[in-house]
Structure 1
Amino acid sequence: MKRTWWKEAVVYQIYWRSFNDTNGDGYGDLQGVIEKLDYIKSLGVDVVWLNPCYESPDRDNGYDISNYTSIMEKAGTMQIWETLLTEVHNRGMKLIMDLVVNHTSNQHPWFLESRSSLDNPKRDYYIWRDPKADGSAPNNWRSYFEPSTWTYDETTNQYYFHSFAVEQPDLNWESPALREEVYSMMRFWLDKGADGFRMDAVALIAKPEGYPDAENPADISYLSNNPGVHEYLHEMHENVLKHYDVLTVGELGFIKPEDGPLYTGEDRGELNTLFHFEVADEMPTWDMLRFKEIQTRWYEALKDSGWNSQFLNNHDHTRQVTRFGNDREFRVESAKLLGTLVHTLPGMPYIYQGEEIGMTGVRFPSIDDYDDIAMRNKYRDAVAEGRDPQEVFESLLPLSRDNSRTPMQWNTSENAGFTTGQPWIKVNPNFTQINVEQALADPNSVFYYYQKLIQLRKENPVMVYGDYFDLSEGDAHLYIYKRELDGVRWLVILNHADHESEFILPAGYNDANKQLVLANYADVTGDESIDHTTLRPHEARIYRM
């Protein structure tokens, strides 16, 4: 397998509206990102992923774009973005943009033209269909955010298609003119110096032929991974991507391991790497046996042809220490263990802002405190069906996207140092205990542990390119695995439990030849025997064997 800069990279995701506000309007901004670049660089990361900052009505926090080549006023200006890019590059890092080309805002000029008449030249930039004979929607599909993927438009008496919110009509990738518009926009950013794209919902760009009714509309996997998607991505690669040395990562919902090499195979000419969602979307709470099985299947599928990503949280998923760990008495140990997991398993590690200090999910008292359009729509629809409002609210709390969208916790000052104004969403009340200032003052903090993990990855190719072997199949709490490359063998030992677990060194490993690389409990020296030992709750160790 080829060795490349992006395979060796660690990515830091910035949800800028919740990162750092410099003008007091309650929203983070690009100038705020510039202010914190030294902090990000000190962590040791290589790539910054910036969530959408394009012009937008902001119905879905920037994922409803009305102009692909201008900057949203809340975020700043094009000049500030250009300064950000320069400052990122000056620190030896790279910047990737969020590419949202499955859909636009319904305020995008393309859509305004498209809906204006049946014969408008941009009519086929979007997906329009006649009603059924009874006037109902063209089929029974459900969208991610709404009861239907179809909205009736009285201007032309047709329905338009949207995989997400009503305000986010899907682009019609069957239109060659539309595809060229997209490729031109991509060149615009790459020619400015952007270092690649995280491609939002890109597995959805090809639609099922004929738009037939679904047997089970609630299982919306029919929206993704349809015939034609690979032809579109290959054309995108040939027309744009192959002419630049950039990182591309596709957000690929509802795909399986056998699909992975089709998107990221080095001989395919499509994408560099991918996000799959068998963990983040399909494993609501921690399930060690399922997690191990997922890791093994994806490793086997991609080890010879493709590249994976490792993440447990992002702007769409509850913070990992709350959802998959213990954010109470073992918050620090658990945050470090989960970090160990992400950085030592095969694939590219992603860090979501605040993860590196062990930020937690949040529980606000009322639906009115939440901004997440998906959560609010689900609440509205369920209550309209007659369900108890409090019961609905409680059911939506664990996986609300706002769990990960509360402002970055910088210090103990008002609003956690995020803004001098009224924050667009409430700050997590625990900011007085969990914040960057505290983390940087504590040599045993989650931050410094992450810093060590990233440095180890830079210095030890076994963490990047090493073969992976699960040595603990069937154990519901212990996760023991080996990474091995060119005679170098590392053993990762994790006790993902709130209780102690007995550990016995696997057969074939010589205890006398071990060397402790990293441990998340400060009193582990490396002199301890691990032939047969007891691991404490959420204990993590890495040994060179």
Structure 2
Amino acid sequence: MWWKTTVVYQIYPRSFQDSNGDGVGDLEGIRRRLPYLKDLGVGTIWLSPFYKSPMRDFGYDVADYCDVDPVFGTLEDFDRLLKEAHALGLKVLIDLVPNHTSDQHPWFLESKSSRNNPKRNWYIWKDPGPDGGPPNNWQSFFGGPAWTLDEGTGQYYLHLFLPEQPDLNWQNPEVREALYEAMRFWLRRGVDGFRVDVLWLLAKDPLFRDEPGSPFWRPGLPDRLRHEHTFTEDQPETFAYVREMRFVLDEFSEPGRERIMVGEIYLPLHRLVRYYRAGCHLPFNFSLITEGLPNWQPENIARIVEEYESLLTPWDWPNWVLGNHDQPRLASRLGESQARVAAMLLFTLRGTPTWYYGDELALPNGEIPPERVRDPAALRQKDRTPAGYHTLGRDPERTPMPWDTSPYAGFSTVEPWLPLNPDWPVRNVAAQEKDPKSMLHLVKRLIRLRQDPELLFGPYRTYWARNGLYAYLRGKGLLIALNFTDREKALDLPQEGRVVLSTHLDREEAVGNTLRLRPDEGVVVRLG
């Protein structure tokens, strides 16, 4: 099963490579950079949305599930990209956005045209509450009520994100079949699967009850955190929808060519793992992002790994991720030295790793001046939080990929849609290719090392997790030791061995019964 041995590389298409000089990345730009991805060693690329869209949320507001937005190119561009990726041995996953559409999608334009329109029930419409306001207290992820009044028909429609992103009614079988046909459209073209956006939000409480208040909310936090999401997240009906999506994927699967589902699911681990049973191949495990990076301590990371491993059945395949288009950059969270340690962690844990574009350069969060802010979450909520844009904005982790020292870092021939990282003249692909000890070379080495059968399929066992050190065994012959501190540390080994890789990229040597780790160093030791 290819998805167990691959490394997934997420590409945010607007920010990877511009091929036509408009300052925005596109599909042709990605195609031209496929050799870089092959050389990096990843086996699968995941493309964030490139569908036709008004771009109110940069493609997550879909106006046509079966076409490419002109800013990214054409269907022919996609077909060419897919063909060349497959020729290089790369799998391609694309985003599926099934929870909501754009308010400019023909389905919604019909739905809002009349209460009697055949597509009225394709979206979630409700009469005003007793006070004439929204039907209940549900809040949008992007701030404010999750309901907007349509003056023409006198009812409110639900949108868990922007008002321009009305939620589809997944209780309606016609809606589900329309989405499944969209899946088939891309599967027939040859895609290898989907990353499914906000999978855990598809079903809503059929009684539309008010959500209970959260005891943890305080002024300054996002509006959505005012409540516990008892009635808008992880509803029982969701699992039936996941099973139906799996059936569609299985229509196109064959031995050695499984089509897979990766589910975006921000839930505690004990709830997350239930999505395996429903048929999701890889329910995204965000625990390192949500719990690990904010508390980067060996004891905490070991606890997370052990809890996850304990919840998995023999039929479940683990997965790990340290960054994405919605989260601050890894290097800005930990600093470059510990970002190297985190990379070694990601690529040596059991399961499929997902890597975010640019993190192989230790790319930092971008610096976005107020006049350059583009993220709708930031623009809608900047006045609601004391910290302003950068508390909620996602622009800093979406800045363009710096390729070289040519104008605009080789990303474009004009000013990019977001500013480049300030240090792009020295932090770029070409510069790190020339530096044998760069983060880029470390990631390449880690991806190659991960093909060792012990790392691919060997069991995990915690060896040590205290006093700033985290060490674990993979299979019978590998020990990974990570120093989370800026001080030298020593670790007693179960037997002699040999260091085969250090995050400093300057050490391959025999080691006795005591392993000495330099500050901010991770090593892989082959025992025996």
- Give SS of 2:347's match: helix
- Give SS of 1:479's match: strand
Q: Which amino acid aligns with 1:318?
A: P
Partner residue of 1:251?
264
Matched, 1:353 2:350: no
**1:447 positional shift:** 1.5
Matched, 1:539 2:527: no
**1:187 positional shift:** 0.4
Task: Indicate how the Cα distance of structure 1 residues 221 and 184 shifts in structure 2: closer, same or farther if over 3 A, else same.
Answer: same
Matched, 1:468 2:460: yes
Which of 225, 231, 241 is equivalent to 2:240?
A: 231
Partner residue of 1:525?
508
Task: Indicate how the Cα distance of structure 1 residues 207 and 214 shifts in structure 2: closer, same or farther if over 3 A, else same.
Answer: same
Which of 316, 319, 328 is equivalent to 1:318?
A: 328
Matched, 1:153 2:145: no
Matched, 1:290 2:300: yes
Give per-residue Cα distances to partners, 1:205-226, cap 9 Å, x unaligned.
0112311111116245433211
Unaligned runs of 5+ in 1: 383-390
Q: Which moved more, 1:449-458 or 1:12-21?
A: 449-458
Which of 301, 305, 309 is equivalent to 1:299?
A: 309
Which of 472, 478, 483 is equivalent to 1:481?
A: 472
Give per-residue Cα distances to partners, 1:230-281, cap 9 Å, x unaligned.
011112222443532212100012x22223342124xx4x211111333324
**1:202 positional shift:** 0.9
Contact 1:183 1:240 in 2 (8 A): no
Task: Indicate how the Cα distance of structure 1 residues 517 and 400 shifts in structure 2: closer, same or farther if over 3 A, else same.
Answer: farther
Instruction: Spell out the pairing of 1:373-392 with structure 2 (5 A cutoff).
Output: 373-382=376-385, 391-392=386-387
Contact 1:54 1:62 in 2 (8 A): yes
Contact 2:377 2:392 in 1 (8 A): no
- Give SS of 1:356's match: helix
Instruction: Provide the C-alpha distance between the structure 1 equivalents of 2:526 and 2:393, rounded to a whole number of angstroms.
Output: 40
Partner residue of 1:505?
492
Partner residue of 2:405?
412
Partner residue of 2:345?
341
How many pairs were matched up?
510
**1:139 positional shift:** 0.8
Instruction: Provide the C-alpha distance between the structure 2 equivalents of 1:337 and 1:409, rounded to a whole number of angstroms.
Output: 23
Instruction: Spell out the pairing of 1:65-464 with structure 2 (5 A cutoff).
Output: 65-216=62-213, 218-219=226-227, 221-222=229-230, 223-244=232-253, 245-253=258-266, 255-265=267-277, 268=278, 270-282=279-291, 285-288=294-297, 289-323=299-333, 325-326=334-335, 331=336, 333-364=337-368, 366-382=369-385, 391-393=386-388, 396-397=389-390, 400-458=393-451, 460-464=452-456
Contact 2:325 2:394 in 1 (8 A): yes
TM-score (norm 1): 0.90
Give per-residue Cα distances to partners, 1:31-54, cap 9 Å, x unaligned.
100111101110111111011000
Contact 1:317 1:400 in 2 (8 A): no
- Give SS of 1:410's match: coil
Q: Which moved more, 1:51-60 or 1:270-279?
A: 270-279
Instruction: Provide the C-alpha distance between the structure 2 equivalents of 1:303 and 1:250, rounded to a whole number of angstroms.
Output: 18
Contact 2:211 2:229 in 1 (8 A): no
Contact 1:321 1:338 in 2 (8 A): no
Unaligned runs of 5+ in 2: 214-224
Partner residue of 1:490?
478
**1:303 positional shift:** 4.7
Q: Which amino acid aligns with 1:416?
A: A
Partner residue of 2:4?
7
Q: Which amino acid aligns with 2:226?
A: A
Contact 2:94 2:193 in 1 (8 A): yes
Give per-residue Cα distances to partners, 1:509-537, cap 9 Å, x unaligned.
012xx12221122332323445153x222
**1:476 positional shift:** 5.7
Contact 1:198 1:250 in 2 (8 A): yes
Contact 1:318 1:400 in 2 (8 A): no
**1:378 positional shift:** 1.6
- Give SS of 1:235's match: helix
Give per-residue Cα distances to partners, 1:421-467, cap 9 Å, x unaligned.
12111111110110000011112221222111111222x12212221
Instruction: Provide the C-alpha distance between the structure 2 equivalents of 1:448 and 1:398, rounded to a whole number of angstroms.
Output: 32
TM-score (norm 2): 0.93
**1:400 positional shift:** 3.4
Instruction: Provide the C-alpha distance between the structure 1 equivalents of 2:391 and 2:342, rounded to a whole number of angstroms.
Output: 19
**1:469 positional shift:** 1.5
Task: Indicate how the Cα distance of structure 1 residues 168 and 340 shifts in structure 2: closer, same or farther if over 3 A, else same.
Answer: same
Task: Indicate how the Cα distance of structure 1 residues 19 and 532 shifts in structure 2: closer, same or farther if over 3 A, else same.
Answer: closer
**1:66 positional shift:** 0.2
**1:111 positional shift:** 0.5
Contact 1:163 1:170 in 2 (8 A): yes
Contact 2:212 2:229 in 1 (8 A): no
CA RMSD of aligned residues (A): 1.8
Task: Indicate how the Cα distance of structure 1 residues 528 and 483 shifts in structure 2: closer, same or farther if over 3 A, else same.
Answer: closer
Instruction: Provide the C-alpha distance between the structure 1 equivalents of 2:84 and 2:110, rounded to a whole number of angstroms.
Output: 38
Q: Which amino acid aligns with 1:233?
A: V
Q: Which amino acid aligns with 2:259?
A: V
**1:166 positional shift:** 1.0
Task: Indicate how the Cα distance of structure 1 residues 240 and 284 shifts in structure 2: closer, same or farther if over 3 A, else same.
Answer: closer
Task: Indicate how the Cα distance of structure 1 residues 105 and 530 shifts in structure 2: closer, same or farther if over 3 A, else same.
Answer: farther
Contact 2:187 2:252 in 1 (8 A): no
Which of 43, 46, 51 is equivalent to 1:46?
A: 43
**1:375 positional shift:** 1.8
Instruction: Provide the C-alpha distance between the structure 2 equivalents of 1:166 and 1:276, rounded to a whole number of angstroms.
Output: 29
Instruction: Provide the C-alpha distance between the structure 2 equivalents of 1:532 and 1:234, rounded to a whole number of angstroms.
Output: 48
Instruction: Provide the C-alpha distance between the structure 2 equivalents of 1:378 and 1:126, rounded to a whole number of angstroms.
Output: 25
**1:284 positional shift:** 6.4
Task: Indicate how the Cα distance of structure 1 residues 368 and 99 shifts in structure 2: closer, same or farther if over 3 A, else same.
Answer: same
Q: Which amino acid aligns with 1:231?
A: A
Task: Indicate how the Cα distance of structure 1 residues 543 and 108 shifts in structure 2: closer, same or farther if over 3 A, else same.
Answer: same
Task: Indicate how the Cα distance of structure 1 residues 272 and 107 shifts in structure 2: closer, same or farther if over 3 A, else same.
Answer: same
- Give SS of 2:92's match: strand
